[in-house]
């Protein structure tokens, strides 16, 4: 009998790299959506530590950033009873699947990746891993049979590449092993950074960290470079980072007030910065900051969540890999287990 998919919950999957502190771009571009979606389907979220090795090559840093990313998610409202949170590398089969996908993927597809070209242009070493990155991301998505992938704009091309790779694989092995996922954008898919381009962990000066110390955030906000227009002069809010960030944290009416003040004149940059600061404190300070501090005091709680999440994620991955082994002619996990335990 054909499988009845009509009652199956939608599976959402996404990852975030532990390559620095999570910032407002990550939150409004992706994480806020991830947390909302935990009430709407099955959610698999992971800390992409394999991916981060393309830029972070310091064991202590990688562990620290991985913990921080997980603790941030929990403080921001991720509920482990509703959504899985885990470390990418705790399901190492994704690296195996990435290799298998690479065998059916043409160089042309990989060479078109914008993110690789952008990263190299920004001075990141063009390693084979960085080039291979979209294949690993495709494996992340496909191994958990994800339906939807909520991400920021910069990741959409990678999801298109994932769909292509899934199609190549199904075609090469003449079996519908993988279903094609879809990207989902948030309302703020491209948050501008303090230095003009996209806010990104790879440019520390561009970010406002979600849980930075209040003094640091104050310094960053008050230090935003503006032109020298006086308070009374009209200003264009559309390219104004203070307004663009304020619009993300303030209520629509409040944001409209600032916009009007800029357009008509009367709103000075100094006052706008203070308004932004106080909203940031309202949204991320207080209860959330307290919760985040508790995670630092009890790191074992975070570790327990990650391990429990990985155990469940791995069961799903194992089922997919069984089909992959069958389709490709690689030995099944049963045979592998016999090999691993022989002679022990």
149 binds, among ligand ADP, ligand TRP, none (CB under 5 to 8 A by kind): ligand TRP
With binding defined as CB under 6 A, does residue 141 bind ligand ADP?
no
Return d(Cα 43, Cα 70) in angstroms, integer: 15
Q: Which of residues 12-31 bind ligand ADP (CB under 6 A)?
A: 16-17, 19, 25-26, 29-30
- State the helix-helix crossing angle for 128-143 and 156-172, rounded to 10 degrees: 70
With binding defined as CB under 6 A, does residue 306 bind ligand TRP?
no
* Cβ-closest position to ligand ADP: 29
Return d(Cα 209, Cα 257) in angstroms, integer: 26
Q: Which of residues 122-151 bind ligand TRP (CB under 6 A)?
A: 137, 140-141, 149, 151
For the chain, how many residues are written? 344
Site size toward ligand TRP (CB under 6 A) is 13
Q: Which is nearer to ligand ADP, 120 or 177 (CB)?
A: 120
Q: Do residues 131 and 70 touch, judged by C-beta distance below 8 A?
A: no
Tell me which residue of 137, 176, 172 sits closest to 154, measured CA to CA. 137
227 phi, psi to nearest 5 deg: -80, -175
Q: Which is nearer to ligand TRP, 134 or 268 (CB)?
A: 134
Return d(Cα 90, Cα 304) in angstroms, integer: 13
Q: List Cα–Cα distances, 20 to 17, 86, 203, in angstroms.
A: 8, 17, 10
Alpha helices in the chain (DSSP H): 24-26, 32-37, 49-52, 59-75, 93-102, 107-111, 114-121, 128-143, 156-172, 214-222, 241-249, 252-264, 269-284, 286-297, 299-328, 333-341
Q: Which is nearer to ligand ADP, 45 or 325 (CB)?
A: 45
Q: Which is nearer to ligand TRP, 161 or 295 (CB)?
A: 161
Q: Which of residues 198-257 bind ligand ADP (CB under 6 A)?
A: 198-202
| From candidates 90, 154, 254, 281, binder to ligand ADP by CB under 6 A | 154
* Cβ-closest position to ligand TRP: 15
With binding defined as CB under 6 A, does residue 34 bind ligand ADP?
no
Q: Which is nearer to ligand ADP, 11 or 198 (CB)?
A: 198
**Binding-site ranges for ligand TRP (CB under 6 A):** 13-17, 48, 51, 137, 140-141, 149, 151, 155
**Binding-site ranges for ligand ADP (CB under 6 A):** 16-17, 19, 25-26, 29-30, 151-152, 154-155, 189-191, 198-202
Return the active site residues: 119, 198, 201
């Amino acid at each position: 009998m054909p499988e009845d998919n009509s009652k199956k919950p939608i599976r959402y999957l996404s990852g975030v790299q532990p390559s620095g502190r999570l910032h407002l771009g990550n939150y409004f571009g992706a994480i806020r959506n991830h947390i909302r979606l935990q009430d709407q389907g099955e959610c698999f979220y992971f800390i992409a530590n394999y991916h981060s090795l393309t830029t972070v090559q310091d064991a202590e840093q990688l562990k620290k950033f991985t913990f921080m990313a997980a603790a941030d998610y929990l403080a921001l409202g991720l509920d482990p009873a509703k959504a899985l949170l885990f470390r990418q590398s705790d399901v190492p089969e994704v690296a195996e699947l990435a290799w298998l996908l690479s065998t059916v993927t043409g160089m042309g597809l990989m060479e078109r990746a914008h993110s690789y070209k952008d990263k190299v242009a920004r001075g990141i070493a063009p390693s084979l891993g960085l080039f291979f990155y979209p294949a690993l991301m495709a494996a992340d998505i496909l191994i958990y049979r994800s339906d939807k992938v909520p991400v920021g704009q910069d990741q959409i091309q990678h999801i298109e590449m994932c769909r292509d790779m899934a199609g190549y694989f199904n075609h090469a092995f003449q079996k519908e092993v993988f279903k094609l996922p879809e990207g989902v954008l948030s309302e703020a898919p491209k948050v501008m950074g303090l230095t003009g381009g996209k806010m990104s962990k790879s440019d520390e000066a561009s970010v406002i960290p979600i849980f930075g110390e209040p003094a640091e955030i104050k310094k960053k906000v008050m230090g935003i470079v503006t032109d020298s227009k006086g308070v009374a002069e009209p200003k264009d809010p559309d390219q104004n980072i203070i307004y663009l960030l304020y619009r993300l944290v303030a209520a629509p009416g409040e944001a409209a007030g600032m916009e009007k003040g800029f357009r008509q004149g009367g709103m000075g940059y100094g006052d706008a910065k203070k308004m932004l600061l106080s909203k940031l404190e309202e949204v991320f300070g207080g209860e959330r900051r307290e919760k985040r501090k508790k995670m630092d005091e009890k790191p074992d709680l975070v570790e327990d969540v990650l391990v429990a999440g990985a155990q469940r994620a791995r069961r799903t991955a194992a089922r997919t890999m069984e089909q992959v082994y069958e389709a490709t002619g690689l030995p099944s996990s049963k045979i592998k287990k016999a090999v691993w335990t022989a002679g022990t």
